[in-house]
Amino acid sequence: VELSVLCGPTSGTRHHSDRLKTNPPNSVKWFNLYHNSTDVIVSDLHLHASSSIPDVEVKNTDGFDTLRSSNIIVQNSVVQNTDDCVSFKPNTSAVVVQNLACTGSHGISVGSLGQYHRQVDVVEDLYVYNTSMADASDGARLKVWPDRVPGSDAGGGRGRVRNVTYHEFRSRGCDSAITVDQCYGQKNETLCRAHPSRVTMEDVLFRGFTGTTSKKYDPRVGQLVCSAPEVCLDFRSQNINVRNPSGREPLWICEGFDTSGMSIKCQQRHQVY
């Protein structure tokens, strides 16, 4: 599939769209955006986007995006790209993603959320099951902006992420198997801590992760960083067995939240760097 699709609801039926937009073949934009849609099933697609120039990524080639939509199933598909395999954008709820094989992507991502001041972003009730992720920058990924920092024109939006499960996730050569970034867009972590996100994250489960990471961050295999414990609640992990190429003990960085529900051995960066 080399076309981009924008779908929204019809007034008479909730299974089709009132707008279907296709971009020209070999488009470098997203493949599928489900916008203001409900009760949609997407199945058995093969999506491919690549650059003809070595080591140059084709940006904005998301496989599947949801925005202001609910009751969506994406399943039994293959995505090869250099952006998000799936991205749950603002005001998405009740989505199941299952049986996907993703290669070269930026992961299956929540967000980014909270970028725009005075905007409310809600993403909740997501179940991601039986994913194969190869040669990607990230596997399971949540990205949320902190509050607006003085002098910045981004961040400060409100909202919540709630009831998100990644279950049975296989990493093969991903740089990071799990990435949580509640300081998204803000490289100065001191400023992020001083201006914690107004988008809370709560009830997030990572279960049944296996496979290997790339050598990029070896021995680190994942990083979960929140801006403050009060806006990052009830994070849990179960049955995590992700290895690094060197065979050293897998390093998980966990900061800014209560790690008592995590089955992985969490460390803070100052303990290892």
The chain-wide mean pLDDT, for the chain, equals 90
- Is 106 marked active-site? yes
Q: What is the pLDDT of residues 71-84, one digit of tens each?
A: 999 999 999 999 99
Inter-residue contact 213 to 175 (CB < 8 Å): yes
Dmax of the chain from CA atoms? 59
- Structural domain contains residue 74: yes
Among the listed residues 46, 106, 117, 167, the single catalytic one is 106
- Structural domain contains residue 13: no
Inter-residue contact 77 to 46 (CB < 8 Å): yes
- Structural domain contains residue 27: no
The number of folded domains in the chain is 1
Count other Cβ atoms within 10 Å, centred on residue 258.
13
- The 3-state DSSP class for residue 191 equals helix
Domain residue limits at 232: 41-272
Q: What is the pLDDT of residues 101-139, one digit of tens each?
A: 999 999 999 999 999 999 999 999 999 999 999 999 999
- Structural domain contains residue 201: yes
79 strand-pairing partners: 47, 102
- Structural domain contains residue 34: no
Once rounded to an integer, what is the mean pLDDT over residues 247-254?
98
Q: What is the CATH number of the domain that holds 261?
A: 2.160.20.10
Count other Cβ atoms within 10 Å, centred on residue 143.
23
Inter-residue contact 179 to 224 (CB < 8 Å): yes
pLDDT of residue 4: 46
- Structural domain contains residue 153: yes
- Structural domain contains residue 148: yes
- Structural domain contains residue 29: no
Evaluate if residue 224 carries a pLDDT over 50: yes
Confidence band of 273 (pLDDT split at 50, 70, 90): low
Q: What is the pLDDT of residues 151-206, one digit of tens each?
A: 889 999 999 999 999 999 999 999 999 999 999 999 999 999 999 999 999 999 99
Pairing between β-strand 176-181 and β-strand 220-225 as defined by DSSP bridges: parallel
